[in-house]
Homo-oligomer: A and B are copies of this chain.
């Protein structure tokens, strides 16, 4: 390989997601495999500024592939948004002989990496790590597949109660401004309706759909609501609205919350993390910078980091149609 890179730093930044540890492991071991050194940087950019570093050999990442969270911890850093903060961070990298960075995180983390690269011409590669799947340039972000399983398992439990009591449940799931989790987990959980920010259903159509569902003989109903959806101001207002207009329904709300971000990664996320971690190191060793490694049509591919940040991941329209059909 054609670069002069002798040591790579790796960090996790932004919200944690299952698979981050598997990615750290892959980066560390790919460095060992290619006979270069690897440094773990704790607490994201904040740890870079504070010099919170640790040398990592192949054995230092034993038995972490199945762990949720991130052993390098994560944090948001206001100081890194200032030139002074980045200067300190750069000095720490230089004095530790770190030649390049692998950044595991989301759009905010990548933006920080782009600015840092521009100022110091420091090689950076991004690995998309977030459960929200809202990053352009990859069909799957790390943690997304795991979060889908966590959500359907939780809703399976709620359905036990819903169908025992003939109730209507509104279940709010994560996803920030994207409806990927809601749409896929909604289909997977057999939801009657799925409310996502990308499609404004409107309150009237929701009522209409619930009435049809009741008329079709369904005794219980699950409506999945993406946290970014704006049909009601929030999920409790939705509940009130439906109870006012359909008094025959006994409505309950469940907000799945932070458990969606944790847990042991699925096999898919562990394999994806391994592939992306290896590719990130090899891309740096080829002398490239400013790319995100991602999965596109089942292949590991590079996307320029600024495109990953600016681009928008789209909802699959076929899935919306499938959802309409299978919830009949």
Binding site for B on A (CB under 8 A): 12, 15-16, 18, 25-26, 29-30, 32-33, 58-59, 62-63, 65-70, 73-75, 139, 145, 148-161, 163-166, 169, 184-185, 187-190, 216-218, 252-264, 266-268, 270-271, 274-275, 277-278, 297-298, 300, 318-319, 321-328
Distance, CA A258 to CA B148, complexed state (A): 18
Chain B residues with CB under 8 Å of A318's CB are 275, 300
Chain B residues with CB under 8 Å of A150's CB are 157
Distance, CA A14 to CA B298, complexed state (A): 28
Distance, CA A313 to CA B12, complexed state (A): 36
Q: A259-B158, A298-B298 in contact; A277/B73 too (CB < 8 A)?
A: no
> Chain A interface mostly helix, strand, loop or mixed?
helix
A149 to B73, Cβ gap below 8 A? no
Among candidates B75, B166, B325, residue contacting A73 with C-beta atoms closer than 8 Å: B166
A160 to B62, Cβ gap below 8 A? no
Chain B residues with CB under 8 Å of A274's CB are 187, 322-323, 326
Chain B residues with CB under 8 Å of A328's CB are 29, 32-33, 58
A149 to B278, Cβ gap below 8 A? no
Chain B residues with CB under 8 Å of A74's CB are 164-165
B325 to A29, Cβ gap below 8 A? yes
How many whole Å from A317's CB to the nearest CB in chain B? 12
Q: A26-B326, A261-B160 in contact; A152/B66 too (CB < 8 A)?
A: yes
A75 to B165, Cβ gap below 8 A? yes
Q: A149-B267, A165-B16 in contact; A298/B160 too (CB < 8 A)?
A: no
